[in-house]
Amino acid sequence: MAAVVAPAALTRVERRASLRQRRRAAELWIALTALTAAMLALPFAPNSWNGPEVASVLAVSATAMLAGQRWAIALVVIAELMLVPTVVPRAFSGGPLQLGVVHLATVGMLVPGLLAMRRAAAALVLLTGWRRTQRTCRRFLVVLISALTVVGFLPFL
């Protein structure tokens, strides 16, 4: 009987280790792309949305995420949400020959962090002190997605 139970427990341990390794690789990718987006967006001239200030917050939170702080994903996603109104209009303004390569690269570097919004909602629930349930995480995710929608349409208003 013990021989049957031991391999199942071993596979569960291996499975958890594999999932932990994949999650760490995904967090590393999100942190590196966020740091790259922040470095690309820092030299932008300040406008009414304060892009360089938000880019510096993104750089600090991406550095915290690189240091292994899993809660920092919430700050990375919020900073990327606030950076969208600065970067997107500049990336797509002007004629077809005037598209800024740096602005387009910055938009591309924001995508992995924005796609991690579900994980950021779960981390945000823990940061705010709410009880972490599926319903609470879903509500925070709805708030983040609605904020992305509002911020996405803000430059066009």
Q: How far is CA 84 from CA 28, 45, 113, 126, in A?
A: 21, 15, 12, 25
For the cut 80, the answer to whether the pLDDT of residue 155 exceeds it is no
H/E stretch holding 12 reads helix 2-41
pLDDT 10s digits, 93-135 = 765 555 577 888 888 899 998 899 999 999 999 999 999 999 9
The predicted structure's pLDDT at residue 141: 93
For the cut 80, the answer to whether the pLDDT of residue 4 exceeds it is no
pLDDT grade for 10, boundaries at 50, 70 and 90: low
pTM of the model: 0.79
The predicted structure's pLDDT at residue 91: 76
For the cut 90, the answer to whether the pLDDT of residue 34 exceeds it is yes
